[in-house]
A = this chain, B = another copy of it.
Amino acid sequence: MAAMTTGNTSRADANRRRILDVALAELLRDPDASMDQIARAAGVVRRTVYGHFPSREALVGTLVDEAVAALAEADAGARDGVADPAEAVARSVLALWPIADRYRLLIALAQRTVTVQGIRERLAPLRETQVRLLRDGLEQGVFSSPLPAPALGFVHEQMLFAVMEAVNDGLLAAEEAGRSATVAVLSAAGVPVTLATELVAEVSART
């Protein structure tokens, strides 16, 4: 068993992958889920999980790393070469949405400082790019708000949560949610709702 770390047997890899996926789902349901809960849910014994991850911390950490990577990639790709800040935000949110929903766990964890130290740090670069974008928009007058750009960054983030919760509670259709979230973010940034709606329709149609 000690060699489980070295080799690349397909069986072990598949298990590792499934453990990660199930762990994500389980932690989403209960952020304090125990290793035993996770293992059982993955159809595996607790001991096996420790064969793949040395500690609970490591397991969650891996999950966080994957999430951050996916988010950063989606964000960067979405607004590549887009000049207008409003459109850039729209594209970014639309692209981020499906991933953010899947990984909302890590943001929830990031808000509760306790769990894994360093989530905020790992998430910081992504946040930085959002803030830069918001600042551009404010300076160009595309956005308008009495809040400084970094504060708007938090607003941006929390807006996604708000819409996620709404979807969770069945108040919003899942297919509509991405566009709704985008409009919500834009209008929080001071873009008139009519403009925001138009923009979102246009952008999401062109995909």
User: Which of A's residues lie within 8 Å of B, judged by CB?
Assistant: 29-32, 108, 111-114, 144-148, 150-151, 154-155, 157-159, 161-163, 165-166, 169, 171-172, 179-180, 183-184, 187-188, 190, 192-193, 197
Interface contacts beyond A159-B162, A159-B188: sample of 16 additional A-B pairs, CB < 8 Å, sorted by A? A31-B112, A108-B111, A146-B193, A147-B184, A148-B172, A150-B169, A150-B171, A151-B163, A151-B166, A151-B172, A154-B161, A154-B165, A154-B171, A155-B162, A155-B166, A159-B159
Kindly report which residue of chain B lies nearest to residue A187, judged by CB atoms.
Answer: B190
Q: Is B151 touching A159 in the complex (CB atoms < 8 A)?
A: no
- A166 is contacted by which of B29, B108, B147, B171 (Cβ under 8 Å)? B147
Instruction: From the candidates B145, B148, B184, name the one contacting A155 in the complex (CB within 8 A).
Output: B184
B193 touches A144 (CB 8 A): yes
Residue among A112, A150, A166, A187 having the largest count of chain B Cβ atoms under 10 Å: A187
22 A–B pairs (Cβ distance < 8 Å), ordered by A: A29-B113, A30-B113, A31-B112, A32-B32, A108-B112, A146-B179, A146-B180, A146-B193, A146-B197, A147-B163, A150-B169, A151-B172, A154-B163, A155-B163, A155-B166, A157-B162, A158-B161, A158-B162, A159-B159, A159-B188, A187-B187, A187-B188
* CB-CB under 8 A for A193 and B193, given A162-B155, A169-B150: no
